[in-house]
Chain A
Amino acid sequence: GAGVSQSPRYKVAKRGQDVALRCDPISGHVSLFWYQQALGQGPEFLTYFQNEAQLDKSGLPSDRFFAERPEGSVSTLKIQRTQQEDSAVYLCASSSTSVWETQYFGPGTRLLVL
Chain B
Amino acid sequence: GNSVTQMEGPVTLSEEAFLTINCTYTATGYPSLFWYVQYPGEGLQLLLKATKADDKGSNKGFEATYRKETTSFHLEKGSVQVSDSAVYFCALAGYSSASKIIFGSGTRLSIRP
Contact = CB atoms under 8 A, between A and B. Distances in A.
B100 A42 contact: no
Contact of B44 (A41, A100, A105): A105
Contacts, number: 64
Interface stretch (B65-73, B77-85, B88-96): B88-96
Interface in B13-67: 32, 36, 42-46, 49
B103 A56 contact: no
25 contacts: A4-B43, A31-B98, A41-B106, A42-B91, A42-B103, A42-B106, A43-B89, A43-B103, A45-B100, A45-B101, A48-B100, A50-B97, A50-B98, A55-B98, A93-B44, A95-B97, A97-B97, A98-B97, A100-B93, A100-B96, A100-B97, A100-B99, A102-B46, A102-B49, A103-B101
A58 to B, nearest CB: 9
A77 to B, nearest CB: 15
A74 interface: no
B102 interface: yes
A40 interface: yes
Given A4-B43, A91-B44, 16 more contacts: A31-B98, A33-B100, A42-B4, A42-B89, A42-B104, A43-B103, A48-B98, A48-B100, A50-B97, A91-B43, A93-B101, A97-B97, A103-B46, A104-B46, A107-B42, A108-B43
A48 B97 CA distance: 9
- Give the size range of A's interface with the partner: 20 to 34
Given A106-B43, A108-B43, A42 B105 contact: yes
Contact of B97 (A40, A44, A99, A106): A99
A17 to B, nearest CB: 26
Nearest to A43: B103
Contacts of A95: 97
A33 B112 CA distance: 36
Contacts of A99: 96-97
